[in-house]
Structure 1
């Protein structure tokens, strides 16, 4: 799930486990490690996002036991790592890395000895011993046509082929080989051969898998670059289609939920997500408060500990996660449900863990998003939230509801018409800002969560410090950093409550010689005159404008990264799906 290191292991024709691994990215290491020369009956591979241990060759996966008869790759975090390590060292095991993963290989070695080479019994015992999260995939040199596995929290998917089977943590990794999959549940373990799959449940009973098989509706072309230089650029340009597909699929999904009852009869509404999903949740929070008068409580998923004694029956939690596997958001879902709350999940991945564990679910139809930075998944999440709000307004017979819905359904066409011109302007602006080390991104009301998302994009893709905060807060501290030519962005959205106030905030920054850049509707002439650089967008009233306002930031972050020599698809230290706390 990461890009810190890469490794591969196979059982060769002589029954030996061959391992090749190093720190770095797949593209850089493919030839050096000789992956294409590997020949064997079965193999496992891994890309690492470091949790335990520094980024180096030794800590890269796969890891092996003392006898090099077991090789293992692992996503997740083993919480009782220290206790297990001390015990294994006392017993004479040689631990060569700093990782928690290697300990599992040694534990399996230990229990294979106890159980006379019975790997399934060894796996069961190890699952009872370790605490934490894991998706484990294991090679055993004495059974070269089997790949063993076990799962707790971290996702694991089996792909079924003709005379072959594969296993992966994510669908895009196997889509070139098969579209027929089984999603494993917590506590399940087993093994696969080229022709069979055996899965056992938490009670050690063999599971009938026929009803668990489903088919992926993605196409391999969805995960190709399609002529674009990077996935991120492709995915920015795909947004009109992704939003259109999402909106087309919402009526049937919404009709399966009594949306009016769910929202209006809930005692309290909570909204949670991480990163971009949290920012999409803030747009929904704004809409519920301003347009429906509903008090909603947004919180970042990793801070759910503050609320674990607050949830109660009658509450509604809206959990937003593009992958449906975000560990902090999943934890929030489980805590809320344990306290009697109802959970509505919004995700882009069908049958992922968070939707499966929620009472209700709505899927975006963004298609696979390969770039680490959220683009089309973010805007489709916003589209879902706005559609829900407008349908609620419609059911309450609010006069403008139909107009809002009509404008929302037209967003794909409007967005399509401006993508190219905004791309060109953002590239020009990136050349002006490429050597800056810091900037502010300010907004008010609805434009504040868009500013948060814009700042996040700039930080994670171009590695320039960008700080977002409400524009009215500048005089309470942050303005102290502003000096001549310091870049300050203003996200401006048509809102009768904030139009005049945002002008005052721009004036404050100009008075301190800041370099003012505005993302603003084409009719905001006064904003244009006060700004040093403006990216103009079509005029859209209120909520729907949020879907356009993020586009300049997406393009800008992309072009800043490219201009500064960075890969926008794989920013350092980040992973697409965060499955560790």
Structure 2
């Protein structure tokens, strides 16, 4: 969930500090509560502060230091609150090594007690601080930096991405286990980061580190090795993102930009996968698969809502399917065998709970498929097959365009796996980007959001394919407005939630003209009887307007794609409510973009 940046340039480099702080600024979207950098010269220069990057920049030297190797970090607190002392980098007693770390060290307390008994003194409450002290202890015994770093890593239990810089050395050492690290190969040096946007201004050529691998990065080379120290051949890949993709493109915030990028994201997701000749769909990664006996879809957060949608699609096409929260997926109690397909849906491809579920599925022999946005991510490398949603980089913490692309990718997978072309559905997919654009062009969400920004709470209801859209609408609202929001299947209104409905709790009802239309009308009347404002998201405005206080229109399409259009309206509602309330929309409090801890 934290962000790492590292850089090693030529011995005469004078822009190391600039590169590190620029990288940290590009990692802010991941979520953080403190920042820090360390630069190696004749000693170690370490600067770190609680709060946003601007707090760190206030204490940095006016002139660039002349060190050519450095590391930086944005921390999302796990062990210990956000304080200057708990911010990374952490150093040893002699300040000869500085370390940054993502993940959780499960045996840190035991290691800390042992180190304290040997005379080491600690300044923070973090699990990370044991790492530089382990390195220090190994250096006292041996004196070899690389062996000391390797020794420290072998002592760790848990998930980690670790980077270390040493006083007087123009090099960075790194290792990973279940937390991402990627090396960037530039013209004027080498980069290390937890995510590609950190160094995208400088290079598009990358090497992905695998679990258990070590990297020694110097100004003129990188050496990657396995746990035993044996060299590893790693392919260099070129990413297809640009710095323009990771900018705001004239929008005030990333989230708004990404909401408006959805037509483009869907076109990229569909490109080359819809066959003009016969109106069918081809997802190359799965087209040679036989129809599975059953499908389990595992995910977290927004991706879990996409999984609920996918499971219904698969069931409607004749394959028994269930969506599971990845953190609750237990292969020892859930029926699973070699004829089960386990689909992991994860935007980043690094979501810890989803990766653990996929690994457990691999362990028991099930076939695994990842649906992700990030080429080279852990999920893409650790599953039997991978389908990329091609949404492009998403910087805002609250997922928007990736959710829409996930739904479309999963819809195409369902067609391919079941060999059910359904030409009318394929045609609806083809026109979907245009329909999304029409929603964006005509939405009244801002006007409605202004009217209801001071509400006590918000409720979102839907049925069938639209129930996941209701859940997602509520999640977006609570993520960025910090107000209570709840989404549920509309049929559950009378089983408890109606007790909370008042004239201060607007209800957003996703009510397209489908087989559940009349039932949804009944649910809306239940709400009306309690004097709650009703905002209907519908393609049947004329029929619904007499029942609702406001209508957010969506164009008609295949009933299975209506929730994608409805979701665009709900994204805009949540955005404009948060804007009205003055919230930190791109970086909501306590949240992170890539959740790499369990």
TM class by smaller structure:
over 0.9
Q: Is the 8 A contact 2:36 2:56 kept in 1?
A: no
- Are residues 1:256 and 2:284 paired? yes
Alpha carbons of 1:35 and 1:287: their partners in 2 closer, same or farther (altered >3 Å)? farther
- Are residues 1:239 and 2:265 paired? no
Bigger shift: residues 38-47 or 369-378? 38-47
Q: Deviations over 1:64-107 (max 9, x none)?
A: 11111111110000000111111111111111101011111111
Q: Is the 8 A contact 1:84 1:103 kept in 2?
A: yes
Q: Which residue of 1 aligns with 2:442?
A: 421
Q: Which runs of 4+ in 1 moved over 6 A?
A: none
2:252 to 196, 208, 229: 229
Structure 1: distance between partners of 2:404 and 2:59: 39
1:479 to 476, 489, 498: 498
Say which structure is richer in helix.
1
What TM-score does the superposition give when structure 1 sets the normalisation length?
0.94
Q: Which residue of 2 aligns with 1:357?
A: 382
Q: Deviations over 1:462-500 (max 9, x none)?
A: 11110111111111111111123321111113321x111
- Are residues 1:314 and 2:332 paired? no
Alpha carbons of 1:215 and 1:261: their partners in 2 closer, same or farther (altered >3 Å)? closer
- Are residues 1:31 and 2:57 paired? yes
Q: Is the 8 A contact 1:120 1:190 kept in 2?
A: no
Structure 1: distance between partners of 2:86 and 2:468: 38
- Are residues 1:126 and 2:152 paired? yes
Shift of 1:341: 0.2
Q: Which residue of 2 aligns with 1:411?
A: 432
Shift of 1:267: 2.3
SS of match in other structure, 2:447: helix
Shift of 1:557: 1.3
- Are residues 1:91 and 2:118 paired? yes
Structure 1: distance between partners of 2:391 and 2:436: 15
Structure 2: distance between partners of 1:268 and 1:307: 17
Q: Is the 8 A contact 1:308 1:335 kept in 2?
A: no
Q: Deviations over 1:357-379 (max 9, x none)?
A: 11111101111101111111110
Q: Which residue of 1 aligns with 2:457?
A: 438
Q: Which residue of 2 aligns with 1:299?
A: 324
Shift of 1:311: 2.5
Shift of 1:259: 3.4
Q: Deviations over 1:115-151 (max 9, x none)?
A: 12x12111222222110011001011142x1111111
Structure 2: distance between partners of 1:306 and 1:426: 43
The unaligned stretches of length 5 or more in structure 1 are none
Structure 1: distance between partners of 2:224 and 2:145: 14
Structure 2: distance between partners of 1:435 and 1:99: 39
Structure 1: distance between partners of 2:61 and 2:192: 18
What TM-score does the superposition give when structure 2 sets the normalisation length?
0.91
The structure showing larger relative contact order (alpha-carbon pairs under 8 Å, at least 6 residues apart) is 2
SS of match in other structure, 2:436: helix
Structure 2: distance between partners of 1:248 and 1:419: 21
Shift of 1:35: 6.3
Shift of 1:391: 4.0
Alpha carbons of 1:135 and 1:486: their partners in 2 closer, same or farther (altered >3 Å)? same
SS of match in other structure, 1:101: coil
1:155 to 180, 193, 216: 180
Structure 1: distance between partners of 2:74 and 2:63: 19
Structure 1: distance between partners of 2:124 and 2:142: 26
Structure 2: distance between partners of 1:122 and 1:50: 27
SS of match in other structure, 2:575: helix
Q: Is the 8 A contact 1:442 1:468 kept in 2?
A: yes
Query: Where do 1:35-114 residues align within 5 Å?
Result: 37-39=63-65, 40-114=67-141
SS of match in other structure, 1:530: coil
Q: Deviations over 1:295-329 (max 9, x none)?
A: 10110111123656633211100111111111111
Q: Is the 8 A contact 1:250 1:384 kept in 2?
A: no
Shift of 1:271: 0.4
Structure 2: distance between partners of 1:261 and 1:226: 40
Query: Where do 1:269-288 residues align within 5 Å?
Result: 269-288=295-314
Query: Where do 1:457-468 residues align within 5 Å?
Result: 457-468=476-487
SS of match in other structure, 1:68: coil
- Are residues 1:489 and 2:513 paired? no
1:289 to 315, 324, 328: 315
Paired residue total: 563
Q: Deviations over 1:418-454 (max 9, x none)?
A: 20321xx111111112222312111111110000100
Structure 2: distance between partners of 1:173 and 1:70: 23
Alpha carbons of 1:93 and 1:477: their partners in 2 closer, same or farther (altered >3 Å)? same
2:471 to 442, 449, 452: 452
- Are residues 1:3 and 2:32 paired? yes
Alpha carbons of 1:437 and 1:69: their partners in 2 closer, same or farther (altered >3 Å)? farther
Q: Is the 8 A contact 2:274 2:430 kept in 1?
A: no
Q: Is the 8 A contact 1:494 1:541 kept in 2?
A: no
Q: Is the 8 A contact 1:347 1:355 kept in 2?
A: yes
The unaligned stretches of length 5 or more in structure 2 are 3-30, 276-280
